Amino acid sequence: MHIQGENKAQKECRPIEKALDIPSFIVMDVMERALELQKQGHHIIHLEIGEPDFPTPECICRASIEALRKGYTHYTHSLGMLELREAICEYYDHKYGVTVNPDQILVTSGTSPALLLIFAALIDPGEQIIMSDPHYPCYPNYVRFLGGEPVFVNVEEAEGFQLDAVQIKKHLGPKVKALLINSPSNPTGTLLSKEKMQAIAELGYPIISDEIYHGLVYEEKEHCILEFTDNAFVLNGFSKLFAMTGWRLGYVIAPSHFMRPLQKLQQNFFISASSISQWAGITALRSAQDDVEKMREIYNERRMFLISKLKRLGFGLATEPRGAFYVFANAKHLSSNSYDLAFEILEKAHVGVAPGIDFGDNGEGYLRFSYANSMENLAEGLRRIERYLQER
């Protein structure tokens, strides 16, 4: 409390440089400007955000309500409830034919904390993590914040944005600690082939595999990195497949010798994931497959519609996406500045899209369209973009 008349010198309090310097998540900037326009009375079509528009399946919601009624509202084991970890093991055995021990699983409040914990346990200052460009925007920010250095490997549209071992080898060096892969990918929606995953695993480096979009795959089959190597960290969760973004529930599967360090970090930083969400997660894995399949079929219809319409409007798509719920469309014929283009489309057409530059320098000139929205909204959004292009 300030007392009038006191004149004591005070030490200035300022945010540290790495907190000031961390880049914004541009997709969120787009969304927040879109929300401002909505407050002004404009109707916005949101194709910028990667969030399922479906409600969480009813069986999952009922499980959470039952957990509340039974009073399961306290801290859980810091690794996560054993029942959930066992359900995850069953899921991986059934889906991928791989054996996972419950003691290799750490349940987290979404995959973002899981990624933070992995890097915190893995990286010493100055060490490097190899990743593709384009990539999920937050990957390099985590690495830099913890004192590491991201190393980018350009992946090209003509090759299906596929990261491969030959490209990675050119960037290997004594400071490289691990390789980060994401299949199906955000932002491109493309998958790594079985052969490319095998070749990357054979490089012998630890692999961090972000598999959050597994299950949302069309016309292909996704593969878990654990099919090819045990020297890996698998990131997965419930947000995308089960339409549970707000439940904040994810997990990491890690090598056994990393589990105690990861557990201690969890205990100190987060204690445990939500007990109610964990009970819901058990039901999601064991009882929600019919709901998931219905959502996947609808996503696929939207995917094919969006691809067809974007091509007709002149956007480039050398490789059609077959996973997640994104189309990463080449817009270089319109502008070399995807940031300005995305905000121009928002302001003039009232459609939110994500600029490619948000996903790395090699994403410049592209726009990411999310089809996690209704067919009606997709159709209206594309009509608005067509009018915008005609007037432009």
pLDDT at 6: 56
Final residue in a domain of this structure, among 263, 288, 313: 288
Q: Outline where DSSP puts E strands in 3-97.
A: 45-46
Q: What is the count of structural domains for the chain?
A: 2
> Do 247 and 273 lie in a common domain?
yes
**Nearest-angstrom CA–CA distance, 111 and 116:** 9
Partners of 253 in beta bridges: 105, 234
Give domain status of residue 311, yes or no: yes
- How many CA within 13 A on the CB side of residue 253? 27
Domain hosting residue 358, numbered range: 17-55+290-391
Boundary residue ending a domain (256, 288, 320): 288
Is the domain of 278 the same as that of 309? no
Please report whether residue 208 resides in a domain: yes
Please tell me whether residues 265 and 118 are part of one structural domain.
yes
Q: What is the pLDDT of residue 21?
A: 87
* End-to-end Cα, the chain, rounded Å: 58
Residues 303 and 266 in one domain: no
12 in a domain, yes or no? no
Query: Which pTM was predicted?
Result: 0.94
Q: Does 11 map to a domain? A: no
- The whole-number pLDDT of residue 2 equals 56
213 and 318 co-located in one domain:
no
Looking at the fold, whether 363 and 237 belong to one and the same domain comes out as: no
Q: Are residues 271 and 350 in the same domain?
A: no
Asked if residue 192 and residue 139 are part of one domain, the reply reads: yes
b/e burial code for range 250-274 (CB count within 10 A of at least 16 → b)? bbbbbeeebbeebbebbeeeeebbb
Tens of pLDDT, residue by residue, the chain (392 residues): 555 555 567 888 999 998 898 888 999 999 999 999 999 999 999 999 999 999 999 999 999 999 999 999 999 999 999 999 999 999 999 999 999 999 999 999 999 999 999 999 999 999 999 999 999 999 999 999 999 999 999 999 999 999 999 999 999 999 999 999 999 999 999 999 999 999 999 999 999 999 999 999 999 999 999 999 999 999 999 999 999 999 999 999 999 999 999 999 999 999 999 999 999 999 999 999 999 999 999 999 999 999 999 999 999 999 999 999 999 999 999 999 999 999 999 999 999 999 999 999 999 999 999 999 999 999 999 999 999 999 98
Same domain, 161 and 193: yes
Q: Is residue 4 part of a domain?
A: no
pLDDT of 3: 54
CATH number at residue 294: 3.90.1150.10
> What DSSP letter does each residue of 101-127 carry, written as one string?
-GGGEEEESSHHHHHHHHHHHHPPTT-
Residue 324 lies in a domain: yes
Q: Is residue 220 part of a domain?
A: yes
Same domain for 314 and 223: no
Q: Are residues 339 and 248 in the same domain?
A: no
Assess if residue 64 is contained within a domain: no
Let me know whether 294 and 280 are in one domain: no
* Residue 181 vs residues 235, 314, 359, 366: alpha-carbon distances, Å: 10, 30, 14, 20
Determine which helix (DSSP H) or strand (DSSP E) holds 210, and give its type and residue range: strand 207-210
171: CATH: 3.40.640.10
